[in-house]
Chain A
Amino acid sequence: MTIRRLWPQSLVGQVILLVALALFVAQAINFGLLLRERNRLTLTGQTAPLAYRVLTALDQRPDRAAARDGRPDRRQARNIRFLAAQPALGGKPRPDVANRARDMLEDMGLTVRQVIAAEDSRVMPLRRWERLRLRQGEAPDDRRVGRLQLAVEYDAGQWLLVEGRIGNRPPRFGGWLAGQTLILYIIVLAPLLWIGRRLARPLRQLTASAQQFARTGAADPVDERGPGDVRDLTMAFNAMRARIIAMLDEKDRMLGAIGHDLRTPLASLRVRTESVEDDAERARMSDTIDEMNRMLEDILSLARAGRSAESPQKVDLSALADAVVEDFVELGSPVTLADSARAVALVRPQQIRRALRNLIENAIVYGDRAHVSVSHLPGQVRITVADEGPGIAQDRMAEMLEPFTRLEGSRNRETGGAGLGLALVRAIMIEHHGELLLANRPEGGLEASLVLPA
């Protein structure tokens, strides 16, 4: 989970993280090798003087030296001793020094039986040049360096013990590694970041434009820039956008033409009905024409859904519901409105009016009367239209939202429209990022709610 969360989602982020990880691993391997080499060098540096000392001492073995002039070499006596038994070395054993010494001696053609080495922290005497420098007034080095002892069994039971100083510890180079890594990161990641941003900006714009297009059906073309392949993508997107807009415009033009062409004969028919003598017959004819016109209106509205020219504005939905209900009351329709406080949301008012009118008309037709209420919940405003009809069977709820679906067996069947009312309401809600909810009320009747983000 944690790794998931840390893993960046963006393309550039992932590339940069990957490169950074790879760089870090390479640096770590590099560092490991370097450290090993450095340790070997240090080891060699510590071992070599002792090995040479052994070599020199054996060249001037005391038995030979004694055979020549009967006394040991005094210069060497201080740190070279010949022993007839294995010496007990105090301090920390240093098998690495012992092995290295054996290798070195073997390289120089001297095979020994056994090598042991140990390190303790004896203060070593000053070297001659150090004494000289001290005398010249220079600050002394830290003399508390360790003592390294190396014992070699050069012949059965014959041991040689030499000692030397451990050189100063090499400075830690963790900081050096950090610095180096930082420089490397800057050199590699900075251009990568630059390229990434160059890549990401047009992609981001493309995404924003595509989202805007999906939402509103209109978007500005995206600037064609950035790397070649991104530019190609942008160009393709712009071409697609232009084509879709052209198709939608064509659709709107066509719908307009259809609307016009159908309304003209309807208008002609409507005028001619006035010459019908029978009043009842004339009224029925004009009702039918009105209904055809309403259906035409609904179909055109549904087909245009999502391409509204109306711009969203802050609207008090309580006042809107009040105005719509008032229009119904004015015509003598059985609609009531519960008092409610101001509830402001960003909507296209004409469309919300339309949606609410459709719900109220449905409620009157199928549920005898409509009770409208507006409630302001956190983050949303809900306009609810409740009726007193039979409601809708649960399994047919979803179906009711589809175009051309009508409630079968309604006793007001002959007054129904094309079955586009709820489909249109739903289309309007989708355009508003809202929702149309249908539910049967426990006390009977259907409750339809427009849920709008506020």
Chain B
Amino acid sequence: MSDRPHLLLVDDERSIREPLAQYLSRNGFRVTAVDSAAEARVRLNANAIDLVILDIMMPGEDGLSLCRHIRETSEIPVILLTAKSEETDRIVGLEMGADDYVLKPFSPRELVARIKVIFRRVASGGQRVTAPDGATYAFAGWLLKSQERTLVDSEGVSLPLSTAEYNLMLAFATRPNQVLSRDQLLDITQGREANAFDRAIDNQISRLRKKIEPDPKNPTLIKTVWGGGYTLSAEVRKL
């Protein structure tokens, strides 16, 4: 990866493609903008692309199909742009192996923040956390349904989670039995929305414990590691 990461922007809408390419260029990226999946395939073969920003709805081959192609042939991260808010589109997109999705109309700043999160993860050799959305994680009698941002207890009753609680729970569920420091948790959960979580990690942990621990005072699932941070002490199965 050169100092200026090379982005491939694929969108048939010129009114978005051109100003977005300009904005991304101003923010320190090299941008190649194309208007179709066919053109994108050519560029993918010819250039060393570091990340693809892909519109789903395009005439001809659509973004989902191109996304699948990219995932089959390379490890290049993909961010999907979608104008539909329907859950199904989002889930399908993430199942196709996209790293993130952005809903139109989006804040370009947020897009840049998300691109940086992905690059940071790639640089730190972090594993690709493909498709957290749509998956269900089972642990200790609980189900974490990522699509609905909900915990389901052993009686089948859903306990909806707040965004912060959910991000934290997902971080634990995807990294069971790993000790996660506050900084790590911040880094992982911050990825989606750059809010001020700093003050909140401990607070969120205690909220989660209240929801899932049989006895929140003596936690057996989310344990505090002396001097280190927290760990989810349970077998997690991805369903």
* A-side contacts of B148, CB under 8 Å: 349-350
Asked whether, in the complex, the Cβ of B207 is within 8 Å of the Cβ of A326, the reply is: yes
* B-side contacts of A344, CB under 8 Å: 157
Q: Mark B27-54, 1 if CB is under 8 A from A, else 0.
A: 0000000000000000000000000000
Partner of B105, one of A256, A266, A327: A266
Q: Which of B173-228 contact A (CB under 8 A)?
A: 195, 200, 207, 211
B128 interface contact, C-beta 8 A: no
Chain B residue nearest to A266 in the complex (CB): B105
Asked whether, in the complex, the Cβ of B162 is within 8 Å of the Cβ of A275, the reply is: no
Known: A256-B84, A315-B158, A319-B159. A271 touches B109 (CB 8 A): no
Q: Which one of A108-116, A257-265, A378-386 is at the interface? A: A257-265
Partner of B163, one of A315, A322, A330: A330
Q: Report the Cα distance A319→B161, complex, angstroms.
A: 7
Q: Report the Cα distance A314→B149, complex, angstroms.
A: 14
* A-side contacts of B85, CB under 8 Å: 259, 297, 300
B15 interface contact, C-beta 8 A: yes
Query: Least Cβ distance of B27 to chain A in Å?
Result: 9
A136 interface contact, C-beta 8 A: no
B57 interface contact, C-beta 8 A: yes
The interface residues of chain A, by DSSP majority, are classed as: helix
Q: Mark B87-99, 1 if CB is under 8 A from A, else 0.
A: 1100000000000
Q: Report the Cα distance A263→B55, complex, angstroms.
A: 13
B231 interface contact, C-beta 8 A: no
A83 interface contact, C-beta 8 A: no
* B-side contacts of A342, CB under 8 Å: 157
Asked whether, in the complex, the Cβ of A274 is within 8 Å of the Cβ of B109, the reply is: yes
B104 interface contact, C-beta 8 A: yes
* B-side contacts of A330, CB under 8 Å: 162-164, 195, 200
Chain B residue nearest to A328 in the complex (CB): B162
Q: Report the Cα distance A320→B166, complex, angstroms.
A: 12
The winner among B23, B81, B86, B159 for most chain A CB atoms within 10 A is B159
* A-side contacts of B211, CB under 8 Å: 319
* B-side contacts of A349, CB under 8 Å: 148, 150, 158, 160
Q: Report the Cα distance A280→B201, complex, angstroms.
A: 32
Known: A270-B108, A275-B22. A319 touches B164 (CB 8 A): no
B73 interface contact, C-beta 8 A: no
Query: Least Cβ distance of B229 to chain A in Å?
Result: 21
B20 interface contact, C-beta 8 A: yes
* B-side contacts of A353, CB under 8 Å: 160
Asked whether, in the complex, the Cβ of B104 is within 8 Å of the Cβ of A266, the reply is: yes
A254 interface contact, C-beta 8 A: no
A239 interface contact, C-beta 8 A: no
Query: Least Cβ distance of A429 to chain B in Å?
Result: 18
A324 interface contact, C-beta 8 A: yes
Chain A residue nearest to B109 in the complex (CB): A274
* A-side contacts of B16, CB under 8 Å: 264, 267-268, 271
A293 interface contact, C-beta 8 A: yes
Query: Least Cβ distance of B81 to chain A in Å?
Result: 8
* B-side contacts of A269, CB under 8 Å: 105
Asked whether, in the complex, the Cβ of A319 is within 8 Å of the Cβ of B23, the reply is: no
B156 interface contact, C-beta 8 A: yes
Asked whether, in the complex, the Cβ of B88 is within 8 Å of the Cβ of A274, the reply is: no
Q: Which of B104-119 contact A (CB under 8 A)?
A: 104-109
Asked whether, in the complex, the Cβ of A326 is within 8 Å of the Cβ of B165, the reply is: yes
User: Which interface class (under 10, 10 to 19, 20 to 34, 35 or more) fits A?
Assistant: 35 or more
Asked whether, in the complex, the Cβ of B20 is within 8 Å of the Cβ of A271, the reply is: yes
Q: Mark A267-287, 1 if CB is under 8 A from B, else 0.
A: 111111011000000000010
Asked whether, in the complex, the Cβ of B162 is within 8 Å of the Cβ of A259, the reply is: no
* B-side contacts of A134, CB under 8 Å: none
Query: Least Cβ distance of B144 to chain A in Å?
Result: 13
Asked whether, in the complex, the Cβ of A314 is within 8 Å of the Cβ of B158, the reply is: yes
Chain A residue nearest to B211 in the complex (CB): A319
The winner among B81, B158, B165 for most chain A CB atoms within 10 A is B158
B60 interface contact, C-beta 8 A: no
Query: Least Cβ distance of B79 to chain A in Å?
Result: 14
Asked whether, in the complex, the Cβ of A323 is within 8 Å of the Cβ of B161, the reply is: yes
Q: Mark B12-25, 1 if CB is under 8 A from A, else 0.
A: 01011001101100
Known: A314-B158, A324-B162. A272 touches B19 (CB 8 A): yes
Asked whether, in the complex, the Cβ of A271 is within 8 Å of the Cβ of B23, the reply is: yes
* A-side contacts of B159, CB under 8 Å: 315-316, 319-320
Asked whether, in the complex, the Cβ of A264 is within 8 Å of the Cβ of B104, the reply is: yes
A398 interface contact, C-beta 8 A: no
Q: Report the Cα distance A328→B203, complex, angstroms.
A: 15
* A-side contacts of B160, CB under 8 Å: 315-316, 319-320, 323-324, 349, 353
A309 interface contact, C-beta 8 A: yes
Q: Report the Cα distance A80→B155, complex, angstroms.
A: 101
Query: Least Cβ distance of B136 to chain A in Å?
Result: 13
Q: Mark A292-336, 1 if CB is under 8 A from B, else 0.
A: 010001001000000001000111100110111011001100000
Chain B residue nearest to A301 in the complex (CB): B85
Q: Report the Cα distance A349→B157, complex, angstroms.
A: 11
Asked whether, in the complex, the Cβ of A315 is within 8 Å of the Cβ of B157, the reply is: yes
Query: Least Cβ distance of B131 to chain A in Å?
Result: 19
B83 interface contact, C-beta 8 A: yes
Known: A314-B156, A330-B163. A264 touches B83 (CB 8 A): yes
* Chain B residues packing against A (C-beta within 8 Å): 13, 15-16, 19-20, 22-23, 57, 81, 83-88, 104-109, 148-150, 155-165, 195, 200, 207, 211
Q: List 20 A-B contacts (CB under 8 A).
A: A260-B84, A264-B16, A264-B104, A267-B13, A267-B105, A268-B19, A270-B108, A289-B105, A309-B86, A314-B157, A315-B159, A316-B158, A319-B160, A320-B158, A320-B160, A323-B162, A324-B160, A326-B165, A330-B163, A350-B148
Known: A259-B84, A342-B157. 11 other contacts (CB 8 A): A263-B83, A264-B13, A267-B81, A271-B16, A314-B155, A314-B157, A314-B158, A316-B159, A316-B160, A319-B159, A349-B160
Q: 3 closest Cβ contacts across the A-B interface?
A: A326-B162, A268-B15, A267-B104
